[in-house]
Amino acid sequence: MTQMPDAPFDTRAHYLALTARRRLYGGILMAVFVLLMVSGFLLADGRNAGGFWDGLPHILDFPADVVRDTIPRLNLLPGYLVKYFPALVETVNIAAVSTLLGTLGAMVLSLLATRGLARWPRLIPVFRRLMDLLRAVPEIVVALVLIFVLGGGPVPAMIAIALHTAGALGKLFSEVNENADLKPVEGLHSVGATWLQRMWLGVVPQVSPNYLSYALMRFEINIRASAILGFVGAGGIGYELRNTMSWGQGKFDEAAAIFILLFLTIVVFDQLSGHVRHMMITSRSKGH
Amino acid sequence: MADAALYASADRLFTRKKLLSFGLPALVLAYLVYVFFAFDLPGLAERARMDNAQTLLSDTWSYKTHVTRDNRSGGIDIAIEGERKGAYAEGTSPDWVTPEGEATRVDLGEGQHILLLPENGFVWDVPGYGLIEGRLDGRSLVTNLPETGLPEWISASSSRVQITRPEARVALTRAKTEVFRYFPGWELFFFTLDSPYHGHGLTEILFGDQIDPARGNLAGAWHDFWQNGMWRHADVAWALFETLLMAFLGTMGAAIVALPLAFLSARNFAPLGALRFATRRVFDFLRGVDGLIWTIVLSRAFGPGPLTGALAMLITDTGSFGKLFSEALENVDGRQIEGVASTGAKPLQRYRFGVIPQVMPVLISQVLYFLESNTRSATIIGAITGGGIGLLLTQAMITQKDWEEVTYYILLVVLMVMAMDSLSGWLRRKLIRGS
């Protein structure tokens, strides 16, 4: 067999062929995606009690009802806002406590699950799976089971959200921990500090700004979660909302008050935590 | 002099640090004490229903079979969990229930048994306590139990006698005598009693003789398993799919709607300042009105079902995606767009080849994160609007007795979310590194 001389490599043709192939793949992917979206929509539409196109004109019916009930009795609204304020405080409390407890749990779990920092390096996979598990269980599942055992009220929601928070933040925290500088830890180790002291004095000061930022973000999410859990019976503003909703037409003015409270709370805490996070970032980039 | 100032500043720093390291925990502690009373934790112990917890725990890993002797007809009914779907057909019985003369013998294992007597009575020799007899005498129930000093697992009155032991429970009323016997495991998970495949192992079905003459083993067994009336595997699988569908439609729909809107609200692309401001406020509004409220509003228009859940997620996430995408768009490198523009590209082409490739990795990773977390949200929204596995879960919980089904659903939800988590992580790595 004689060696053929290499044909001159046609860069242009090769590039065009590559592009064409890439376009083809992209096109196929796009077509599959569109197909999935359309068929999924049709399927969901078919399984729904009311169809999409029938319901579309009625989408504003409920807000219109609420407004119609509220406008003639606008003078009652401040009274309702005051009436439901304690329930709102309960919802925010549930979110705050569960964020607090969840953050503490996440700190411990994440330190135990980070290579180089873990107290028991062999158990790292165990703690990782534990965090995955906590993250995967939807809050509503834990809350409903606990409502059955503990009765309605804020405690089941608090426990449920705290567990989920510990898992969700634990994952984020352990990513932060992995970037922590190990030198302070080694220094503390050399002077005989215990594991707890090494973590508290060597790692936590480095990572606490990131922790705080993530915890604030989680707090926002948890306010929404605690409102939703209230709706299935765990107290707070969600519970009141369901009660006012079930009174039916003509009484939606109280529901309107709750909508306003919930909306304002979410927006206020959203802005607040965004502001604090922004401040932390700028103060650090200035060279703290 | 300079030293003094330095000392003073160091002192101030120390005071601040001291305040922070003692003040912050004190504040947290004070808050927790306040919550302790605000949530009425001392009263919780009273409200907690430990018996509920016990039912729940034992039900998750065991089931009971009811053996009932009806006093009017005198017949014996045997049903798993007391459900019609789990009833033994007339004339059949498990091997631990045997007729013994006029009476019926219910074997409890380990040498124990309960005799159901023909005249609506029972005899049970409880180890460590003695022989207990109870029967209907005229209109009232009589037993050989003493009037006082009964252990707490026995309750006896003239209308109802009940003995609750870990291995079994017997209850005698005027109308019937009922024995519950407990077994570990989930009852009839694969086949119900009316299926010919009940009681056959996997190897027997795969390689053994044909069990049902009308059907092939594999097809018949699959059909009976899939259509299992008690566990409803087909419905559960469909519900899981519906939940995933909701998450998929909601997330992808939101991404499609949010992308063009994000261009309007990004500082470097917005054609008009006022339009940018308006779009931003729309995003804030969509996010601020929580998913819960959107779900309620939409379920009034579209009725319960997966579409409502998907649309509620779509609307909420449009707000979140809009914000995230516009931030990503504000961070794009202008030079690449200029480069594309210098070749004479029209605006749409500039976006397609100058902007989209830059923001795609951020977009994809955000969308995949949301897809994963929306799988969980879809379970919750499903519980509110009535669709998917969330609905099945709440339905099973409302009955307050099918805890084994609740456990099964929870297990499936957790597995589904974990699978979505790894799938989205895998896709993220694949797509971002690949493109």
Sheet holding B168-173, edge to edge: B76-80, B62-70, B176-184, B168-173, B160-164, B154-156
Is the pLDDT reported for residue A161 higher than 80? Answer: yes
In this complex, is the C-beta atom of B392 within 8 Å of any C-beta atom belonging to chain A? no
Same domain, B166 and B76: yes
pLDDT of residue B397: 83
Chain B residues in contact with A224 by the CB 8 A cut-off are: 290-292
Residue B305's pLDDT is what? 87
Q: Is the pLDDT of residue A287 over 70?
A: no
**Residue B342 belongs to some domain of the structure:** yes
Q: Say yes or no to pLDDT of B228 above 70.
A: yes
Give per-residue pLDDT as tens, B108-159.
777 788 888 877 888 888 887 888 888 887 777 888 877 777 787 888 887 8
A235 or A142, greater pLDDT: A142
| Same domain (yes/no): B169, B219 | no
- One domain, residues B277 and B263: yes
- Go through A101-135 and write b for each residue having 16 or more CB atoms within 10 A of its CB, e for each that does not: bbbbbbbbbbbbbbeebbeeeeebeebbebbbebb
Same domain for B378 and B291: yes
Distance CA B392, CA B406 (A): 9
Tokens found for residue A87: 């329930």
Together in a domain, B92 and B117: yes
What does pLDDT average to over chain A? 86
Query: Do residues B337 and B400 both lie within one domain?
Result: yes
Based on the domain organization, do B244 and B378 belong to the same domain?
yes
Note the pLDDT of residue A49: 80
Chain B interface disruption, residue of A145, A165, A263, most B CBs within 10 A? A145
Considering the domain architecture, whether residues B160 and B299 belong to the same structural domain is answered as no
Which of A257-261, B58-62, B69-73 is the most confident on average? A257-261
Domains of chain A with CATH codes: 66-285 (1.10.3720.10)
A47 touches chain B (CB under 8 A): yes
Tokens of residue A159, six digits: 């426990």
What is the average pLDDT across A81-91?
90
- Comparison of pLDDT for A157 and A59, the residue scoring more: A157
Nearest CA in chain B to A139: B380
Q: Which of A8-12, A267-271, B27-31, B209-213 has the lowest mean pLDDT?
A: B209-213
Residue B130's DSSP bridge partners are: B126
SS (H, E, C) B48-93: CCHHHHHHHHHHHHEEEEEEEEECCCCCEEEEECCCHHHECCCCCC
List, in order, residues 6 or more apart from B165 with CB less than 8 Å away. B126, B153
| B353 found inside a domain | yes
- Does residue B435 surpass a pLDDT of 70? no
> pLDDT band at residue B1, thresholds of 50, 70 and 90?
low
Residues 162-201 of A with CB under 8 A from B: none
Classify residue B58: in a domain, yes or no.
no
In the three-class reduction of DSSP (H, G, I as helix; E, B as strand; rest coil), residue B139 is classed as: coil
Query: Shortest Cα distance from A10 to chain B (angstroms)?
Result: 24
Using the Cβ of A151 and the Cβ atoms of chain B, whether some distance falls under 8 Å is answered with yes
Per-residue confidence (pLDDT) for residue B310, from 0 to 100: 92
Give me the number of domains chain B comprises. 3
- Identity of the residue in A43, A56, A224 whose CB atom sits nearest the CB atom of B290: A224
pLDDT in tens, A162-190: 999 999 999 899 988 988 888 999 999 89
* pLDDT over threshold 80, residue B433: no
Closest CA to B298 of A63, A252, A240, A232: A63
Mark whether B392 and B300 lie in a shared domain. yes
Strand ranges across the sheet with B112-117 = B97-100, B103-109, B112-117, B121-126, B130-137, B140-143
**ipTM of the complex as predicted:** 0.82
Q: What is the mean pLDDT of residues B50-78?
A: 79
Number of alpha carbons in the 13 Å side-chain half-sphere of residue B201: 4
Q: Is residue B55 part of a domain?
A: no
| Mean of the per-residue pLDDT values of chain B | 83
Give the range of the structural domain holding residue B218, as residue numbers without chain letter.
Answer: 188-229
Among B201, B229, B257, the domain-final residue is B229
For chain A, say whether B312 makes contact (Cβ under 8 Å).
Answer: no
Q: Shortest Cα distance from B180 to chain A (angstroms)? A: 23
Do both B239 and B210 map to the same domain? Answer: no
Query: Please, are residues A228 and B380 in contact by the beta-carbon 8 Å criterion?
Result: yes
B57 is a domain residue: no
pLDDT at A6: 64
Q: Is residue B73 part of a domain?
A: yes
Coil, strand, or helix at residue B128?
A: coil
pLDDT band of A286, cuts 50, 70, 90: low
- Tell me whether residue B29 is in a domain: no
pLDDT at residue B198 tops 90: no
Whether the CB-CB separation of B384 and A231 falls below 8 Å is answered with yes
Cβ–Cβ gap B421/A132 under 8 Å: yes
- At a CB cut-off of 8 Å and minimum separation 6, what does A226 contact? A91, A92, A94, A95, A98, A157, A161, A234, A236, A238
| Chain A residues in contact with B242 (beta carbon < 8 A) | 44, 47
- Residue B272: strand pairing partners: none
Nearest-CA distance A120 → chain B (Å):
25
Flag whether residue B290 sits within 8 Å of chain A, measured between CB atoms: yes
Q: Are residues B246 and B270 in the same domain?
A: yes
- CA–CA dist A68, A80 (Å, integer): 16
Position with higher pLDDT, B22 vs B87: B22
Q: Is residue B216 part of a domain?
A: yes
Instruction: Verify that B213 and B270 share a domain, yes or no.
Output: no
Q: Is B99 left (phi over 0), alpha (psi -120 to 50) or beta?
A: beta
Per residue in A187-219, pLDDT (tens digit) is 998 998 899 899 888 888 888 888 888 899 899
Query: What's the pLDDT tens digit per position in B274-329?
Result: 888 899 889 988 888 888 888 888 888 888 888 999 999 999 999 999 988 988 88
Q: Say if strands B103-109 and B112-117 run parallel, antiparallel, or are unpaired.
A: antiparallel
Query: Contact, B390 vs A143, CB < 8 A?
Result: no
pLDDT for A110 beyond 90: yes
